[in-house]
Amino acid sequence: EVQVVESGGGLVKPGGSLRLSCAASGFAFSTYNMNWVRQAPGKGLEWVSSVSGGSGYIYYADSVKGRFTISRDNAKNSLYLQMNSLRADDTAVYYCASESIWGQGTLVTVSS
Amino acid sequence: QSVLTQPPSASGTPGQRVTISCSGSNSNIGGNTVTWYQQIPGTAPKLLIYNNDDRPSGVPDRFSGSKSGTSASLAISGLQSDDEAVYYCAAWDDGLNGPVWVFGGGTKLTVL
């Protein structure tokens, strides 16, 4: 079965850090560009970051540039998002996604 | 404010045909393909249409997509109650600092 499963979300204080993980299975992960997309409560979808299959190209939304770092380990079929200096407006469900494959998301809540 | 513009809501009765529009610019829809997603509340987005008008296997042919210039549309014919969901358009934008995956604000479809 083709799927991606996110983990690592939780409650963190403003200024804190969190690392999200995404485990992929059922497809040739290394050939897919992968993304993190987030959705704040009651809001629409917002792209966060992308990484190409071989990690040669990495892009970030302006809202997270300098604070978040995307990475992948193709040997482990895994995608990661290191989130530092978290703010209240980073609160959202974070989805690991290619354009065609989406996980169920992991909730990140930034609150004191 | 979303880069791609969608109407916030749409509605129809069972059996009807409804159309959802998505407006962008030369840097996104005008130069790249459009993808449509369906999101039922509490679940992850599901791919409906890719490459402007292609349907993944498993998506009924009641769903169709089209693109003209800097605008795109999603049409749903033979409306059913379980089509009630939020629909998002998406496209890559050729940003000055690299590509950005942009989304519409979402259209909430109500089946009356």
CB contact under 8 A, B47 and A104: no
CB contact under 8 A, A104 and B104: no
CB pairs under 8 A between A and B: 45
User: Where on the phi/psi map is residue B53: left (φ > 0), alpha (ψ -120 to 50), or beta?
Assistant: alpha
- pLDDT for residue B75: 98
Q: Which residues contact B35 (CB under 8 A, 6 or more apart)?
A: A99, B47, B49, B50, B51, B89, B90, B91
- pLDDT for residue B20: 98
B17-59 pLDDT per residue, tens: 999 999 999 999 999 999 999 999 999 999 999 999 999 999 9
- pLDDT for residue B2: 87
A93-111 pLDDT per residue, tens: 999 999 999 999 999 999 9
User: In this structure, what are the phi and psi dihedrals at residue B82, rounded to the nearest 5 degrees?
Assistant: -80, 10
**B1 pLDDT higher than 90:** no
Work out the mean pLDDT of chain B and round it to a whole number. Answer: 96
Residues B107 and B83: their CA atoms lie apart, in Å, by 12
CB contact under 8 A, B45 and A50: no
Strands A10-12 and A106-110: parallel
A48-94 pLDDT per residue, tens: 999 999 999 999 999 999 999 999 999 999 999 999 999 999 999 99
- Give B95's pLDDT tier (boundaries 50, 70, 90): confident
Contact of B92 with chain A, judged by CB distance below 8 Å, is answered with: no
User: In this structure, what are the phi and psi dihedrals at residue A63, rounded to the nearest 5 degrees?
Assistant: -65, -15
Write out the two tokens for A44: 């629409």
**A45 pLDDT higher than 90:** yes
- pLDDT for residue A65: 97
Q: What would you measure as the largest C-alpha separation in chain A, in angstroms?
A: 40
DSSP state of A87: -
Q: Are A105 and B44 in contact (CB under 8 A)?
A: yes
Q: Are A94 and A38 in contact (CB under 8 A)?
A: yes
